[in-house]
A and B are shown apart, each in its own frame.
Chain A
Amino acid sequence: EIVLTQSPVTLSLSPGERATLSCRASQSVYRYLAWYQQKPGQAPRLIISGASNRATGIPARFSGSGSGTDFTLTISSLEPEDFAVYYCQQRGNWPHTFGQGTKLEIK
């Protein structure tokens, strides 16, 4: 199965700063990668699909890039509501595995 490794495990930033989250796959997943945001006590929410397509209702400050094995989620200017855990998921091969998550916390 494809292993996704997210880095960093924890990212400490302040509102207004730029966040860059990484997801690396153990083999190519082409552009079949999604990103999710999860806040405590809530179900995950789809942020990005197809590596770079924002989901419905997701603000433009969220962007995704990458292909093959290396992917990035960028939040251009952090808002207070963006502090959460972010997961990547590959959808190129069964099983559709998740990364272990990056916790974005307020500095």
Chain B
Amino acid sequence: NAGVTQTPKFQVLKTGQSMTLQCAQDMNHEYMSWYRQDPGMGLRLIHYSVGAGITDQGEVPNGYNVSRSTTEDFPLRLLSAAPSQTSVYFCASSYSKENRKLFFGSGTQLSVL
């Protein structure tokens, strides 16, 4: 049982490049979400999904897209990377939106030059 798996662990991009951060969970969780962690800012919600085919915006959605075609996968797409998107990204999941205990992946450290 792998839990929540994020890839890659590290990534360096140039401004304007696009990329996809992958997130997969094998716990059959309905709820999945993406957070970014910045110094002094804590964890801020980017996007979330309460089930396959359903996504919604969090606190800081601009510059990011998500989709949820399967229960297991919830990729985060950076459309045109900017230095302000340099951050550590965490994917998290829970059994449902009502069950609030989140399981987190180990994170992706992204640098945009």
- The reply to whether chain A is a binding partner of chain B is no
- Residues of chain B whose beta carbon lies under 8 Å from any beta carbon of chain A: none
